[in-house]
Amino acid sequence: MKRIRHYIAAFICTVLAASCSLDETSYTEIEKDKYMNNSAEAENVLLGVYRNMVEEGMYAYHLSLLFTIPSDIARCEGTTTDNYRIVPANAYTAVQSEVETTWAALYNAIYEANDFIWQLSVKADSFDEDDRDDAAVFMAEARALRALYYFELLRWYGHVSLITDPAQSYMAFSEYTQNDPVEVFEFIEQDLLYAIDVLPYATADNIRSDNSFRFSKGAALGLLTKVYATWAGYPVHDETKWEQAAKTAKTLVESGMHHLNEGTNGNGFEQLWINTCNGIWEPGESLIEVSFYAPTVTGTAANDPVGCIGKWNGVTASGIRSIRNAGNWKVIPSFLAGWKDHDQDLRFRLSFADYRYTADGQDPQGRDDRPFEDALAEDAENNLKSSFANTLTPAKWDTEKYVEDANYLVNQDKSNINWYILRYADVLLLYAEALNEWHKAPTAEAYEAVNMVRRRGFGLPVNTASSVADLPTGLSYEDFQQAVRDERSYELAFEGHRRQDLIRWGIYYETIRATAQDMANWCDNGARYYICASYTQKNKHELLPIPQRDIDLMTRYEQNPGW
């Protein structure tokens, strides 16, 4: 059955096309009232709510890669702000098209979730008993998706309108106001608590015939943990939410329904990238994952659920099977230089590439073909260090190493590689962080959570204490806090979390400034590549601007600080 595409609400029309008419009636808006008469039809529409994830303004590009780059671990290639570089440089304004596109995409996704929830609430009573059981799960999925979309809207744009009913999307522009962020957090919380109460765990699901890449109880628990951790930080700073973050994560951890992927022979961390590069659903660790996998690849972006994963943030390549990888994400060498225990931490070498691919195979990029490790020596010469200042790339999505022929790259710009939004390892680290923040000292459970992640990273059994991998005992509150923050940068490197972590910790600007100095210290010309340091401002770049077109139309709106 074909996917029902809903009429885009008037609110979204303001950012997509000035010619949208508030009186316009869509054919599909009329026809959808005749649809969703059973659970199969309802599921088909629900999958359309999921499909919003693969839009360019969502996780195909903006929320996965473009907006997340500027941090202390990554930057965009080059030394200018032209073309696509303007966004990673933090040099854009409120009229930037990417800012407008993502705002519109998120509100469109919220509208479709609202509409589905409303339609299903009207139709479900007429379903037979089995279909009503399905509908209950579908309702919970839709509310979890709406929570995710609002969470992204809130943490990127800060001051937004809370629209909870499809009819609200048709109000006059002058009626829209911005809700207090706390109100939006509370709405997200209620949606996720509902989902947690109704959804089954992924590995105990006897309702959905196929729950691949769909919300589960574990996914909702993990997302709510992250919501609480964000709520506790910038800009709301409600530190009472640390206790709720810890207790929510504990429920997930103690359920035993999710686990770290340990792979075979200690290769669990690498197995994550083999899986996501080939559309393999592994619900043990993958809590929320966007699927770009297409069983039949047409090469046409309109037909394939394609993203930029592995193209923008992969290993630089040219002439590979007639396809190119831009490799526009660049790894900051001073971050790698500070990565502790890298000689024994298997994640170190699996996370970055000091090589590229050509038609002839793998080509080292260091001066005189020397590896990056040589540049870490105390007596390493400046020329060797500078050869890595603008060449290192992430390696988690190494297309030539991981992507099988059946899922090979669509074209020069797009791929069918998946994107992890939330992994179980992320939740374990949030659990450790929340316990430390709640008690103002690390607990035994906090140590165990972070050490499990570290042991897997070192290729060791996750449930066995290790003198090699485990953090030293007796750390103070401050030392444990820093250890967890460092561990998040190692485990989740280049996965789109670091910028938002720095923002919720309230240290984004300060970290950008410190990284600029680190780059200058790394080599003589290092700082020239860290363009975002010239444009990032405190109390401004913690949020994106509200798109100027919406500010102009919605007269009761106020622009975000600094914009």
- Tell me which of 298-307, 497-506, 517-526 is least confident: 298-307
Tell me if residue 11 falls in helix, strand or coil: helix
Q: Are residues 24 and 124 in the same domain?
A: yes
Name the phi and psi angles at 358, rounded to 5. Answer: -130, 180
Q: What integer is the mean pLDDT of 338-358?
A: 93
Q: Are residues 42 and 116 in the same domain?
A: yes
What's the CATH code of the domain at 511? 1.25.40.900
State the pLDDT confidence band at 1, using cuts at 50, 70 and 90: very low
215 found inside a domain: no
Q: Are residues 30 and 113 in the same domain?
A: yes
pLDDT confidence of residue 297: 55
Q: Are residues 88 and 175 in the same domain?
A: yes
Q: Are residues 376 and 473 in the same domain?
A: no
State the pLDDT confidence band at 9, using cuts at 50, 70 and 90: very low
Residue where a domain terminates, one of 386, 417, 448: 417
Partners of 286 in the beta sheet? 423
Q: What integer is the mean pLDDT of 494-520?
A: 98
484 found inside a domain: yes
241 found inside a domain: no
Q: Are residues 403 and 455 in the same domain?
A: no
pLDDT confidence of residue 244: 98
- Model confidence over 280-321: pLDDT tens digits? 999 999 999 999 876 555 555 556 688 999 999 999 998 876
| Number of CB atoms found within 10 A of residue 421's CB | 24
Residue where a domain terminates, one of 417, 443, 477: 417
pLDDT confidence of residue 32: 65
271 found inside a domain: no
pLDDT confidence of residue 490: 98
pLDDT confidence of residue 468: 95
Residue where a domain terminates, one of 398, 417, 436: 417
Q: Are residues 369 and 477 in the same domain?
A: no
- Model confidence over 320-329: pLDDT tens digits? 766 789 999 9
Residue 221 · residue 251 · CB < 8 Å: yes
pLDDT at 537 over 80: yes
- Model confidence over 16-58: pLDDT tens digits? 222 222 233 333 354 667 789 999 999 999 999 999 999 999 9
Helix-helix angle 129-157:181-198, to 10 degrees: 150
Residue 482 · residue 473 · CB < 8 Å: no
Q: Are residues 379 and 503 in the same domain?
A: no
- Model confidence over 72-123: pLDDT tens digits? 999 999 999 999 999 999 999 999 999 999 999 999 999 999 999 999 999 9
What's the CATH code of the domain at 52? 1.25.40.890
Q: Are residues 137 and 34 in the same domain?
A: yes
pLDDT confidence of residue 16: 27
Q: Are residues 436 and 397 in the same domain?
A: no
269 found inside a domain: no
Residue-range definition of the domain harbouring residue 192: 10-198+546-550
Q: Which three-class secondary structure string do you get for 468-522?
A: CCCCCCCCCHHHHHHHHHHHHHHHCCCCCCHHHHHHHCCCHHHHHHHHHHHHHHH
283 found inside a domain: no
Q: Are residues 25 and 97 in the same domain?
A: yes
Could you say which DSSP state residue 159 is in?
S
* Cα torsion 118, 123, 125, 131: sign: negative
536 found inside a domain: no
Q: Are residues 75 and 147 in the same domain?
A: yes
pTM of the model: 0.93
pLDDT at 410 over 90: no
61 found inside a domain: yes
Structure tokens at 138: 């579908």
Number of domains in the chain: 3
